[in-house]
Structure 1
Amino acid sequence: MSTVKRPYQGTHKGPEVTESRTAAALVLADLRGGQLLDASFERRTTLLDARDRRWVQELVWGMLRTRARLDAILADRVRGGIAKLDADVADLLRLGTYQLLHMDSVPPYAAIGQTVQLTKQRHGIGASTLANAVLRRIDRERAHIEPVVPADPLDALAQQYSHPRWVVQRWAARWGLDDTARLLSANNTPGGIVLRPYGIDRAQLVALLDGAGVETHEVPGVPDSVRLAGSVALTELGAFKQGNCYVQDPAATLVVQYAQVEAGSVVADLCAAPGSKALELSRRAAMVIASDRHGARVDRMLHGFGRLDADRLQVVIADATQPAIVPVDAVLVDVPCTGTGTFRRHPDARWRLRVSDFAVLGALQKRILRAAATVVKPGGLLVYSTCSLELEENDDQVATFLADHPEYSVEPPSPGTVPDALLDGGLLRVLPHRHGFDGAFAARLRRAA
């Protein structure tokens, strides 16, 4: 993998590069180094104001959602193809092209001039000359710029919706081309911010948001949640700062509702970070033991719970493969997974995913599920969940577990707990292209008394 060159040290003239564009370039460098998008974005935009942070997010997330199409456009205008370029130069060209073609608020001269100057700073005059020529040509041709559509339908979908071809191929084999196209399109549609009220009811939260000038909408299937309209600086909202709400995609809410833990029970959430499912469980449970193996993730979880002044939660650092707790009434394991159900929120994940991840994560999921079973009381409940769409991580894991643990069986929740359309043989299955939320899977497994 190409690494970022040291910044070019020669003298140069030109417009000063904005902090926002510099931050975007640094985030992409972090991604190439193996960091996750959300964490890099938070670190690289700390000093930016809310408006600039939103601009960087629009640029980076948007570029990642359209990367394959941008590459097809650039491939016809870069001699030798984009694959031969330094990886950082290629990313800078993608950023500049995205601004030209998709960000109407950015004047063409700014998109070109800033990208050229940033390329010069990072790679020198030769690379900046290339960037200038390529971006000016794209600007001239923008009114009719469309890459050639590949003859192979899978290649065409991969290019049109910017997903790796092998991912498109496996989904097409499962759902067919039409449904796959709808899924790919859903993955490129921003999910928006959905809030859950905490310590107040939905009507009170809506009133607080309305008072702050924030438009809200209902969430079909999850009536207590509130969807925010448009772009909102969440950390500047009084309702958020005062601990009256927290962020949770409807799919995650549905997993906890599907779990239907008994009121007054003791529940362990063994893979709890960032903590929203533990919060949701605490609405019914007498106590939720929320654990994660990574201290930094536990610290963030504690910070989030502290903002809400949450109670009935005990936070610990612990490895889910070796849970050091006495058996409890219910255990939730929201296991590490490929996250293919969350591509709309994490567009970097589609480009980071490898075929080998299924074997590596599958082995870990199996270990966690088996370990979790040892700390469920007789007659208790074990809930296995993922944010994956893949059968290997979902149905196959549950089938293998049940074959090895005859004392467990699938037990659907009570009728009406979640919409019937989300249940598949007693299992919860949320699909972005059919239900409009992030993808999620859960299995409710009852241990014999």
Structure 2
Amino acid sequence: MRAGATLNDARDRHLDALAERDRRLAYELSAGVLRRQTELDDTLHLARVDPRLHDVLRLGAYQLRALDRVPAHAAVSTSVELARETAGEPGARYVNQALRRLAGDKRWEMREGAPSHPDWLVQRWQGSFGAAETQSLLAWNDARRPLVIQPTRWSLRQLAEQLQAAGLTTSPAPYDAGLAVAHPSSRIPHPSRLPGFVEGGFLVQDPAHALVCRFAAIPAGVRVYDACAAPGGKAVTLERLGARVVAGDARHDRLARLADTTRRAGVAIRVLCADLLAAPFAEGAWHAVLLDAPCTATGTMARHPDARWRVTESAIARAARRQRALLDAAARLVRAQGVLVYATCSLEPEENSNVVDEFLKDHPQFARAPVPGAAAAELLTPAGDFQSLPQRHGMDGAYAARLVRKGGA
């Protein structure tokens, strides 16, 4: 991750060979440290410590206070060995002393409501949502969220029956958008180890993103180009809703996962490597285009705790510039009376409504065209765009605008 990989990518690349119990512990340690990084850093006074020891100390301290099943002596000794490998004997001695001192301090506990996000981001959200809603958003991001799956080859009923037979509990996801899966006493296994995964019975997808596909309201049988499709969840959902989908992505490293998602789901989706900015199709070639634009993903921080430390104010501005360029390119592909859907998983207006408003000023041949009943009223903005907020709706933050090119333009 320190080299730039996301937590989920690092997990899938480096932990897959571990036994399930060890894999779950490693992920819980990593996610927990990321959620509690500010508090841990302050407690450990890391500003004065060799940077090579920062992660070792964070992991050790988190185990001492947040994981009862890890004995204190094991947390200390493992951390000391990691420090020795990383920074030699002086580092090992420092870690040993720091963690033993912490283990003996019964006054220190992980505090509910302790700072867990960058200050600038908290202040930004307070300006957007107010203090009370921001506190609810931070609490949402810091809690473990249930796994939500969408049916593909299997029905919801079959999925529920098979998962319950495996000892898991299931319940309808918010707005009936999928199935929430939990374990009555521990963490659930990795999705690839759940009943139905190998058979293509389901895909993992938060309700917000399934609801974006419903909001898109692509008519059955219409050809739609999903322009930034990886990992493929929205393409599969659109196909299951009746559209005829071609899924493209410019990122070579993500094409394999995109192809695997569509193959497992058993949908007739053509997958191709295509850069939207390079005009991969003729103008007006498509009845509908979905642009699920790359974004800062500030709406998904509960599932991606590392995202809060990667995003910066300048990253939001850069993302908005790229999103606008992608939206301009996507618009050229839409024929008269065709549909253009712009979507992100960001909470930031600069990446959402601002991009769309500026686009519409420069492209009068397009107009907002939400379909009545395609989304619940509380999920619509005054302008008619889709917007889900974790602290209000109990799911990922997501945004979408449905636009139509006027006839004859």
Match of 2:41 in 1: 71
Matched, 1:325 2:289: no
Match of 1:190 in 2: 144
Checking the alignment, whether the CA contact within 8 Å between 1:65 and 1:161 is kept in structure 2 is: no
Q: SS of the counterpart of 1:337?
A: coil
Q: State the alpha-carbon separation in 1 of the partners of residues 115 and 340 from structure 2.
A: 37
Q: SS of the counterpart of 2:245?
A: strand
Match of 1:152 in 2: none
Q: SS of the counterpart of 2:403?
A: strand
- Letter aligned with residue 219 of structure 1: A
- Letter aligned with residue 240 of structure 1: F
Checking the alignment, whether the CA contact within 8 Å between 2:149 and 2:178 is kept in structure 1 is: yes
Match of 2:315 in 1: 357
Q: State the alpha-carbon separation in 1 of the partners of residues 304 and 252 from structure 2.
A: 23
Shift of 1:133: 0.9
Match of 1:229 in 2: 182
Matches within 5 A, 1:36-435: 36-75=6-45, 82-141=46-105, 143-145=106-108, 160-221=114-175, 223-230=176-183, 231-233=187-189, 234-311=191-268, 313-326=269-282, 327-415=285-373, 417-425=374-382, 426-435=384-393
Shift of 1:200: 2.8
Checking the alignment, whether the CA contact within 8 Å between 2:174 and 2:394 is kept in structure 1 is: no
Q: State the alpha-carbon separation in 2 of the partners of residues 39 and 228 from structure 1.
A: 22
Q: State the alpha-carbon separation in 1 of the partners of residues 308 and 272 from structure 2.
A: 31
- Letter aligned with residue 108 of structure 2: I
Shift of 1:87: 2.4
Q: SS of the counterpart of 1:298?
A: helix
Distance 1:224 1:440, change over 3 A: closer
Q: State the alpha-carbon separation in 2 of the partners of residues 250 and 323 from structure 1.
A: 32
Checking the alignment, whether the CA contact within 8 Å between 1:71 and 1:94 is kept in structure 2 is: yes
**1:283-318, CA deviations, whole angstroms, 9 ceiling, x for partnerless residues?**
13442010000122111111222223322x110000
Checking the alignment, whether the CA contact within 8 Å between 1:337 and 1:387 is kept in structure 2 is: yes
Checking the alignment, whether the CA contact within 8 Å between 2:236 and 2:265 is kept in structure 1 is: no
**1:370-406, CA deviations, whole angstroms, 9 ceiling, x for partnerless residues?**
0100111100110000000001001110100000111
Equivalent residue pairs, number = 400
- Letter aligned with residue 378 of structure 2: A
**1:228-283, CA deviations, whole angstroms, 9 ceiling, x for partnerless residues?**
11322221223111111111011111110110110110001000000000000101
Shift of 1:73: 1.2
Shift of 1:224: 4.9
Q: State the alpha-carbon separation in 2 of the partners of residues 298 and 90 from structure 1.
A: 35
- Letter aligned with residue 42 of structure 2: A
Match of 1:7 in 2: none
Distance 1:238 1:178, change over 3 A: closer
Checking the alignment, whether the CA contact within 8 Å between 1:194 and 1:249 is kept in structure 2 is: yes
The 10-residue stretch of structure 1 (47-56 or 384-393) with the greater mean CA deviation from structure 2 = 47-56
Distance 1:161 1:438, change over 3 A: farther
Q: SS of the counterpart of 1:282?
A: helix
Q: State the alpha-carbon separation in 1 of the partners of residues 293 and 122 from structure 2.
A: 24
Match of 1:23 in 2: none
- Letter aligned with residue 102 of structure 2: I
The 10-residue stretch of structure 1 (425-434 or 42-51) with the greater mean CA deviation from structure 2 = 42-51
What CA RMSD, in Å, does the superposition of the two structures yield over aligned residues?
1.6
**1:191-219, CA deviations, whole angstroms, 9 ceiling, x for partnerless residues?**
22111111232112111222222211111
TM-score norm. by structure 2 comes to 0.94
Q: SS of the counterpart of 1:238?
A: coil
Q: SS of the counterpart of 1:239?
A: coil
Q: State the alpha-carbon separation in 2 of the partners of residues 333 and 355 from structure 1.
A: 23
Shift of 1:146: 5.5
Long gaps (5+) in structure 1: 1-30, 76-81, 150-155
Q: State the alpha-carbon separation in 1 of the partners of residues 319 and 375 from structure 2.
A: 28
Q: SS of the counterpart of 1:241?
A: coil
**1:156-214, CA deviations, whole angstroms, 9 ceiling, x for partnerless residues?**
97xx1410111111111222221111111111112221111112321121112222222
Q: State the alpha-carbon separation in 2 of the partners of residues 337 and 88 from structure 1.
A: 31
**1:61-97, CA deviations, whole angstroms, 9 ceiling, x for partnerless residues?**
011001101112112xxxxxx1232323011100000
Q: State the alpha-carbon separation in 1 of the partners of residues 357 and 343 from structure 2.
A: 14
Q: State the alpha-carbon separation in 1 of the partners of residues 237 and 214 from structure 2.
A: 8
Q: State the alpha-carbon separation in 2 of the partners of residues 90 and 180 from structure 1.
A: 29
Identical-residue share of aligned pairs (%): 40
Q: State the alpha-carbon separation in 2 of the partners of residues 284 and 117 from structure 1.
A: 53
Shift of 1:43: 1.5
Q: SS of the counterpart of 2:240?
A: coil
- Letter aligned with residue 53 of structure 2: V
Checking the alignment, whether the CA contact within 8 Å between 1:164 and 1:351 is kept in structure 2 is: yes
Shift of 1:44: 1.5
Q: SS of the counterpart of 1:380?
A: strand
Long gaps (5+) in structure 2: none
Distance 1:183 1:286, change over 3 A: closer
